[in-house]
């Protein structure tokens, strides 16, 4: 009886982490996939593939390692897709970029020096690029507010109130408020009856240089710097060591395979890792892996519901889903801005990367995220080169004392 009751808390923590993670950001994933050319059916397939990859990976790590190593989809990566725009080669080119991203993640696990190179990217620049990408999405609720004051207003009010009362449930609460308004007011279009089971639709990848530079490279960097590295740091802070190489090999392989069904990127969980690896998962540390097992099982169940999720989202008023995605990303935006501007030495470089990413500029068919990293890194490099160097023989003379009056 004691053993059974001891498993209840980690199971609850795992299911809560799944519910919070899915409900908070599924809208961002759908918006990102649609932005790079996916149809509604392909976006649903991508969401299902992500849930399946997360479930299999999380359950596998839990059973093999007996450590609370959970996986998640790349929320910053999905936000980046929204601003990247559809590549010239269509969704097939985007899928080709997703495959390249997965291979880059896997190679990083095989070659530790690549991970060290990623760490060389100035934190201010990486976070400023992410903040610039998120900024365009986070203003959407307020831009669309005059067109739908009731629906968007209800979501904003719920988010503000729950931020004070129960921050963990602020974003799911905003979603619940939006759905309540949708139910009361009725959908703008009939909800199409979805298929009873989700379908994984194969997409032939197309290798396109512009898509690799504009999607794969920024997606890899933002997944590493905003998900994998923080995810490992969160586990370390909670007293666990992430299996770095196996995690990158597994998430890289899952990303490359899932891409063939429309998924964009899988990585170590960062934010929800605090639920599955921390005290919320129980006082007995040796049983916290059960939380990850429950979380993976929860993703299997939610993956089966993705056709219904997409059908309801498609019937919602125009702009409501985008507004919810913007509300969900306000927290990550605040964190990225704080990290981008905290180091005074690189503050200007961070500002440059932020405005370039937020501008949405496309040069040579390559989106603003790539150019934000390039411009910000260039400013950092130039500032380092022009910094005066003092030789070892130079000495700073003390100031002369003021002259005394006779």
Contacts of 39 (CB under 8 A, 6+ apart): 91
Total of domains in the chain? 1
* Assigned domain for 282 exists: yes
The answer to whether 376 and 353 are in contact (CB under 8 A) is yes
Return the pLDDT at 406: 44
Contacts of 276 (CB under 8 A, 6+ apart): 10, 13, 14, 17, 68, 70, 269, 288, 291, 292, 295
Q: What are phi and psi of 71, to 5 degrees?
A: -110, 165
Return the pLDDT at 405: 47
Instruction: Give CA–CA dist 184/176, Å, rounded.
Output: 12
* Assigned domain for 372 exists: yes
Contacts of 153 (CB under 8 A, 6+ apart): 145
Return the pLDDT at 265: 96
Instruction: Give CA–CA dist 75/82, Å, rounded.
Output: 11
Q: What are phi and psi of 390, to 5 degrees?
A: -100, 135
Q: What are phi and psi of 263, to 5 degrees?
A: -75, 150
Pairing of strands 266-268, 71-73: antiparallel
CA-based angle 330:349:86, to the nearest 5? 55
* Assigned domain for 206 exists: yes
* Assigned domain for 401 exists: no
Give the pTM. 0.82
Q: Which of 246, 318, 196 is nearest to 67 (CA)?
A: 246
* Assigned domain for 217 exists: yes
Return the pLDDT at 393: 45
Q: What are phi and psi of 205, to 5 degrees?
A: -75, 145
User: What would the two tokens of residue 80 be?
Assistant: 């980046």
* Assigned domain for 395 exists: no
Residue-number span of the structural domain to which 342 is assigned: 2-385
User: What would the two tokens of residue 62 be?
Assistant: 């839990």
Residue-wise burial string across 283-306, b where 16 or more C-beta atoms lie within 10 A, e elsewhere: eebebbbbbbbbbbbbbbebbeeb
Per-residue pLDDT of the chain (406 residues; tens, 9 = 90+): 445 545 788 998 899 889 888 988 898 999 999 999 999 889 999 999 999 999 999 999 999 999 999 999 999 999 999 888 889 899 999 999 999 999 999 999 998 777 777 777 888 898 898 889 889 889 989 998 998 899 999 999 999 999 999 988 898 999 899 888 888 876 655 566 566 678 899 999 999 999 999 999 999 999 998 889 888 888 888 888 888 999 999 999 999 999 999 999 999 998 788 889 888 888 899 999 999 999 999 999 999 888 888 877 777 777 888 888 889 888 888 988 998 998 889 999 999 999 999 988 888 777 788 899 899 999 998 988 865 555 444 444 444 455 444 4
How many CA atoms does the CB half-sphere of 377 hold within 13 Å? 12
Q: Which of 219, 286, 282 is nearest to 256 (CA)?
A: 219
Instruction: Give CA–CA dist 318/187, Å, rounded.
Output: 10
**What three-state secondary structure class fits 72?**
strand
């Amino acid at each position: 009886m004691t053993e059974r009751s001891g498993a209840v808390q980690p199971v609850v923590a795992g299911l809560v982490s799944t519910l919070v993670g899915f409900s908070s950001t599924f809208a961002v994933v759908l918006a990102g996939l649609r932005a790079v050319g996916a149809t509604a059916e392909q976006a649903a397939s991508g969401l299902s593939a992500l849930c399946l990859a997360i479930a299999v990976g999380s359950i596998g790590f839990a059973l093999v390692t007996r450590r609370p190593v959970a996986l998640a989809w790349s929320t910053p990566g999905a936000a980046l897709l929204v601003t990247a725009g559809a590549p010239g080669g269509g969704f097939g080119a985007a899928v080709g970029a997703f495959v390249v991203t997965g291979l880059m993640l896997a190679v990083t696990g095989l070659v530790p020096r690549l991970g060290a190179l990623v760490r060389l990217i100035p934190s201010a620049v990486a976070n400023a690029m992410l903040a610039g990408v998120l900024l365009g999405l986070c203003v959407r609720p307020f831009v669309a507010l005059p067109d739908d004051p009731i629906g968007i207003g209800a979501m904003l009010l719920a988010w503000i109130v729950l931020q004070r009362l129960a921050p963990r449930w602020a974003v799911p609460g905003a979603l619940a408020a939006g759905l309540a308004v949708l139910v009361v007011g009725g959908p703008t279009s009939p909800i199409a009856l979805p298929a009873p089971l989700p379908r994984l639709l194969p997409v032939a990848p197309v290798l396109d240089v512009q898509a690799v530079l504009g999607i794969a490279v920024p997606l890899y960097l933002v997944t590493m710097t905003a998900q994998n590295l923080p995810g490992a740091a969160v586990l370390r802070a909670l007293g666990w060591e992430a299996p770095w190489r196996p995690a990158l090999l597994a998430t890289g392989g899952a990303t490359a395979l899932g891409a063939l069904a429309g998924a964009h990127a899988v990585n170590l969980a960062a934010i929800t890792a605090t639920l599955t690896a921390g005290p919320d998962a129980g006082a007995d540390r040796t049983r916290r892996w059960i939380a990850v097992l429950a979380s993976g099982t929860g993703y299997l169940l939610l993956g089966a519901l993705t056709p219904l999720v997409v059908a309801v989202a498609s019937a919602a008023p125009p702009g409501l889903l985008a507004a919810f995605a913007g509300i969900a990303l306000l927290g990550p935006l605040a964190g990225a801005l704080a990290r981008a501007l905290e180091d005074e030495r690189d503050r200007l470089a961070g500002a440059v990367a932020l405005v370039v990413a937020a501008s949405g500029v496309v040069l040579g068919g390559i989106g603003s995220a790539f150019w934000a990293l390039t411009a910000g890194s260039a400013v950092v490099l130039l500032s380092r080169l022009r910094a005066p160097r003092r030789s070892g023989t130079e000495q700073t003379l003390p100031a002369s004392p003021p002259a005394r009056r006779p």
